[in-house]
Amino acid sequence: MDEAQLIKGIQQGDRKSFQTLVETYQRMVVNTCLAIVHNKADAEDLAQDVFVEIFRTAENFRGDSKVSTWLYRIATNRSLNMIRNNKRKRFFQSIEEAFTGGRNHGSEVSESRNDQPDQNITDQQRSDLLHRAIDRLPEKQRIAFTLNKYEELPYQQIAEIMEISLASVESLIHRAKKNLQEQLLDCYKKKCV
Amino acid sequence: MKTKCIQKDLIFYLDNELSVEMRTAVEKHLEECADCRSFLAFLQEGIQIIEKEKNPEVTPFFYTRLSARLEEKPVYQTQSQWVRLAQPAFFSLVLLAGIYGGLKLGSNASSPKVYQQATNSAQMLNDFATEPIESFLLDEL
Ligand SMILES: [Zn+2]
């Protein structure tokens, strides 16, 4: 079944078409979210939200871009929103704690990064360092870089997903790499891991 | 004689994005500089983490779970959205009331000063909600 037929099926509420679409793209969507939120459980939750959105808004899909472009766009937007909400929650929690004397410490914000206990220490430390460095990138650099590195997308498709020019993608990825290198160099000099 | 350190080119060296001349210069420098070699290894190991963690296995019940969620009414989302907006608004009010109250108690502050401080904190809250300051600064680079 080709993509156009699949989308048509979903637009008519056909669950079988939807299941085919999900099974084709679930790994791609989870991987995209994981690159931004760094936690597999959160990435799967986000991927669920992405597909629910696809199912509920399928009639808006115009078919002038690839299905994957549409999925990537929703996945990156939702992942960034989760990061923003977590930041906001942490901020208001700290205010709340200032008022209540810290009774609500560590409640609902989920940002644990170690859900693979059997990894060796050094790899875990490297991974934490890399995630911290990626998290510090400005949002557009982060999206362009992660789509290129985690999904191995060509610059042209990243431009379509982000709705920016090819030159902007090149510039974003170049700056992202420079920023990451700077952060890793800083850590290397200070022996931070 | 030792050439200048090339740490800032190494990420592009790893990604094979340097011109032939620059690549040759980097390789020449790496031969003679242990510190750059050591940073190259550090950088390479850091970036290689991406290869190790990408494309994880998705849980086998992904679609089953998704299918169950499609039966839910989308009403829940509007509710939680309301809570999400109301909570920060509530705490902002509490914070502003606290600051205002504190300044009031501090008595000898003149009223224009009180007004200015209150706007400053409101400004700070707005900034925080959109972009963290460090990414804002990095954007300028
Ligand atoms: Zn050197």
Interval B72-85: pLDDT, tens:
876 545 555 666 66
- In chain B, the number of structural domains is 2
In angstroms, the separation between the Cα of residue A189 and the nearest Cα of chain B is 9
What is the token pair recorded at A43?
């990435």
Contacts with B141 from chain A: Cβ below 8 Å: 175, 178-179
Pairwise CA distance, residues A51 & A39, whole Å: 18
Query: How far does B112 lie from chain A, in Å, by closest CA?
Result: 26
The reported pLDDT for the residue numbered A94 is 84
For residue range B27-73, what is the model confidence (pLDDT) as tens digits? 999 999 999 999 999 999 999 999 999 999 999 999 999 999 998 87
Does the residue B62 lie in any domain? no
- pTM to 2 decimals? 0.75
- pLDDT value for B88: 72
* Mean pLDDT (whole number) for A109-115: 44
Contacts of B94 in chain A (CB under 8 A): 95, 99
For chain B, positions 18-37, list CB contacts with chain A under 8 A: none
pLDDT band, very low/low/confident/very high, at A102 (cuts 50, 70, 90): low
Work out the mean pLDDT of chain A and round it to a whole number. Answer: 89
DSSP string, A98-151: HHHTSTTTT-S--------TTS-HHHHHHHHHHHHHHHTS-HHHHHHHHHHHTS
Task: Give B34's contacts (C-beta < 8 A, 6+ positions apart).
Answer: none
B42: CA distance to ligand 1 center in Å? 14
The confidence band for B125, taking pLDDT boundaries of 50, 70 and 90, is: very low
CA distance A64 to chain B (A): 26
Q: How far is CA B19 from the centre of its chain?
A: 32
Q: Tell me the HSE value of B8 on the side-chain side, using a 13 A CA sphere.
A: 6
Q: Is B79 a domain residue?
A: no
Following DSSP, what letter does each residue of A2-22 receive, concatenated?
-HHHHHHHHHTT-HHHHHHHH
What pLDDT shows up at residue A2?
87
For residues B95 and B53, state if they share a domain.
Answer: no
Q: Would you state the pLDDT for residue B74?
A: 62
With beta carbons under 8 A apart, name residues in chain A contacting B11: 177-178, 180-181
Q: Which of A119-128, A153-162, B34-43 has the least mean pLDDT?
A: A119-128
Asked which of B13, B42, B57 is the last residue of a domain, the reply is: B57
**B26 CB-near residues (< 8 Å, 6+ apart):** B6, B9, B10, B13, B18
Residue of B23, B2, B5, B3 whose CA lies nearest to B14: B23
Distance B53 CA to ligand 1 centre (A): 30
Spatial separation of the C-alpha atoms in residues A154 and A169, rounded to whole Å:
10
B14 domain-assigned:
yes
pLDDT at B122 over 70: no
The domain containing residue B48 runs over which residues?
3-57
Whether A69 contacts A22, CB under 8 Å? no
The full DSSP string for B124-140 is HHHHHHH--HHHHHHHT
Which one is predicted more confidently, A162 or A118? A162
The answer to whether A43 and A30 have CB atoms below 8 angstroms apart is yes
Q: Which segment of A30-39, A96-105, A125-134 scores lowest on mean pLDDT?
A: A96-105
Place of tokens 């700056």: A175
A61 vs A6: CA distance, rounded Å: 12
**Which residues of chain B are within 8 Å of residue A178 when distances are taken between CB atoms?**
8, 11, 141
Whether the CB-CB separation of A28 and A56 falls below 8 Å is answered with no
For residues A143 and A37, give the distance between their C-alpha atoms in angstroms, rounded to a whole number. 11
Say if residues A76 and A161 touch (Cβ distance below 8 Å).
yes
Q: What percent of chain A has pLDDT over 70?
A: 90
Ligand 1 ion: residues within 5 Å (CB): B 5, 33, 36
Domain assignment present for residue B36? The answer is: yes
Integer Rg of chain A from CA: 19
How far apart (Å, rounded) are the C-alpha atoms in residues A52 and B130?
26
Q: What is the pLDDT of residue B34?
A: 96
Please indicate, yes or no, if residue B74 is contained in any of the structural domains.
Answer: no
The owner of tokens 């048509």 is: A8
CB contact under 8 A, A44 and B54: no
Query: pLDDT of A85-101, one tens digit each?
Result: 998 988 888 888 887 77
B39/A188 Cβ within 8 A: yes
Could you give all domains of chain A from N- to C-terminal order, each with its CATH number?
1-110 (1.10.1740.10), 116-193 (1.10.10.10)
Q: Is B114 inside any structural domain?
A: yes
| Residue B96 banded pLDDT, cuts 50, 70, 90 | confident
In this complex, do B62 and A48 lie within 8 Å of one another by their Cβ atoms?
Answer: yes
The closest CB to that of A175, out of B8, B46, B141, belongs to B141
Residue with tokens 């190991």: B45
Same structural domain for residues B52 and B94? Answer: no
Higher pLDDT, A105 or A73: A73
Kindly state whether residue B75 falls inside one of the protein's structural domains. Answer: no
Spatial distance between the Cα atoms of B122 and B89, rounded to a whole number of angstroms: 11
| Mean predicted lDDT score pLDDT of chain B | 76
Distance CA B45, CA B11 (A): 12
Tell me if B110 is assigned to some domain.
Answer: yes
Could you give the CA distance from residue B103 to residue A95 in angstroms, rounded to a whole number?
A: 18
